[in-house]
Every structure is written in structure tokens, then in C-alpha cells.
Copies of this chain bind each other. A is one copy, B any other.
Amino acid sequence: MKKSARWVLHLVNNLSIVAVAILASSQVSADDEVMTAARQIFKAIPSAVPVVKDNPVTREKIELGKMLFFDPRISASEIISCNSCHNLGTGGVDAGPTSVGHGWQQGPRRAPTVYNAVFNVAQFWDGRAVDLKAQAKGPVQASVEMNATADRVINTLNSMSNYVVRFKKAFPSEEPPVTFDNFAKAIEAFEATLITPAAPFDQYLEGNPNALDDQQKAGLKLFMEKGCSSCHNGINVGGQDYFPFGVIERPAASLLPTADKGRFAVTKAASDEYVFRAAPLRNVALRAPYFHSGQVWSLKQAVGVMAKIQLGTKLSDKEENDIVAFLNSLTGQLPKIEYPILPPRSAGTPAPSLGR
């Protein structure tokens, strides 16, 4: 039970909030009680781009970051861009189960979504990157993903005059402006704009009781009372802290491959074995297949699995459907993005390299 001690604490705290909220509102309707409880546990996605630590989000950085996000020439093969695996047209993820990278290699985990990622406590399933600018450097250099090097990226960017001009504008006080750090900062600035406000659930949190239908409200109530919101809470309905996958019951090896011990690889703490960041559930209906292993294709099935292995509960068919209805209310408004025209290559641009 040791590894799940923190989780139990969360569960108790969370259920207390629900209980206190309900007790404190004995004279109002059951509907109001649910809304009051929800507003203590969750938070609406803002409509404005959030502030990013150590990286003022300017228009110049956003536009540059968008180009870099969509530019496949950042990878060694020059066919894989950030958008290849974090496809903004399909919920900020790829088709799964795990991403395909350089040389048709399959990565070990499902791509996490970039949408609303700026609100997560840290990046990657195991939180090994403290923020998006740290995250952005990872896949570029991973041999199983883009298989490039920082030097190659810098050579590529410096070979295209339009990029050099844009880096100068985005980082006016830095010399040289084209650095791997600034590459990552520009991508972070763009990704900070990838937020999806105005989901029905946001409108509900902002005080409109009619933004959710009765089934979605029933699902929300279950989501809080059964304990789902003990881990999946806050602005991203998850993504705020780390928890063991398999608190009550160890998931099947297909869902929890034994070789991947999750956050243990980051902290080396025995209590972090098979611990992962709680999945952020914003837009989850757009993002099958589910879990870090990407082996469950139905949201309803995913809900059933989580209730069983994390909460020791067998949900009824109706309960599962109600929770799925609630999860569907987490689909927000995706930003409109103009596809960027990228600078043409020059004689100095490194040629694609397809080998390993």
C-alpha cells in the first residue's frame, strides 16, 4: 500500500471537498450542490493565452514557434515534424497506440496531447520535463523520434535566411538569436496558444447550469463521488500530479507493460514504480486510444478499467455511460491555425538522412 499512500491522501482530501460542499449547501438544489463542488475541484480554461515562466509570449515567438512546430526539416529524415505525432487536427495526438518515428520505429508510449499542455504540472507521462521549453528539446534528439541533434537543428535554421530574420525579431536582445534554447522557447510560446476554452464544462463552471445536460451532470457527480476527481482535477481535469497506475489492482500487461516503470525512471524512488502523471482529460473524446500504452480504443472501456484498477469499483453500464457523457463535455473550442508557409531550403541546408 506504500506506493499508493499519497494517492489515498488525495482521495480523502478530494472526497472531503465534495462532502463539505454538499453539506454547506443543504438549502439549495442538488444541481447547485454539484456545481459548487465542481467549482472547488476544477477550473475553467481561460480564453486568453496564459503567462509562461521565463518566456514572455510575443507575437513574433508564436509565429516562429508555429513554423518550427510544423517544419519536418527539424528531423533528420526531414519528414517528421512536431505536428506528425502531436497532430493539431486530431486532438493534438496521432492515431496511436504509440508514435512512429525515425526509421518506422515505434516509441514506447502514446503521444500526449499538446492542447492545454501548458497547464500541466510538468511534461511527458512521467513529468521528466519541467515545462514545454524543456519538453520541446526531447523528441527532436530522441533516436526513436526525430533523430536529430541540437547542432543539426541550428545548422538547418541558420541555413534559411527567413528563419534567421525571425529569430532576430523574436529574440531581439540575444546574440546569436538562433540557439537551441530559443528554438525550444519559440515552440513553447506557440504551444501556450494551443488552449481550448469554452467547452460545455467550462461554461458550466462559469455558472451556466444549462451548459451540461442531465446525463452529463449525473456523470460529473459520479466522477466526483466515485473518486475519479481525486487524481483528475484542476484546470486540465488531470495533469496536476503523479499517481500509481494500478492502485487497487495491477492492470493487464498490455495496458501496463512491465518494462516501463514510469516516473521511477525520473526519481529512482521505489515509491514511483509504475507511477504516471494523471492523464489530463480535456478533449479526451478526441484522443482514442487511451492510456500511456494506447491499447484501449473506447472511452467507455477506459472508464471501466480505471474504476476497477484505481478505485476497486465496478461501475454499472449506466454509470459508465454517464461518466462518458460528462467526459464529452470536456471538448473545447480548438484554435484556428493558419498552416505556415516555411522558408525554402538553401545550399547550406543539411540533406535528409534516412538511415539509423
List residues of chain A with CB under 8 Å of any chain B CB.
Answer: 67, 70-73, 77-79, 84, 87-91, 94-97, 100, 103-104, 106, 285-288, 297-298, 334, 336-342, 344-345, 347, 351-352, 354
Contact = CB atoms under 8 A, between A and B. Distances in A.
Nearest to A288: B345
A183 B36 CA distance: 48
A34 to B, nearest CB: 27
A297 B344 contact: no
A81 to B, nearest CB: 9
A89 B286 contact: no
Q: Copy number in this complex?
A: 2
Contacts of A91: 344
Given A339-B339, A344-B285, A100 B77 contact: yes
B341 A334 contact: yes
Nearest to A99: B79
A224 B30 CA distance: 82
B95 A352 contact: yes
A94 B106 contact: no
B71 A94 contact: no
19 contacts: A71-B89, A72-B90, A72-B94, A73-B95, A77-B95, A78-B94, A79-B100, A89-B341, A91-B344, A100-B354, A104-B104, A104-B354, A285-B344, A288-B344, A288-B345, A297-B351, A336-B338, A337-B339, A338-B338
Q: Give the most central of A286, A337, A344: most B CB within 10 Å.
A: A344
A183 B90 CA distance: 19
B71 A347 contact: no
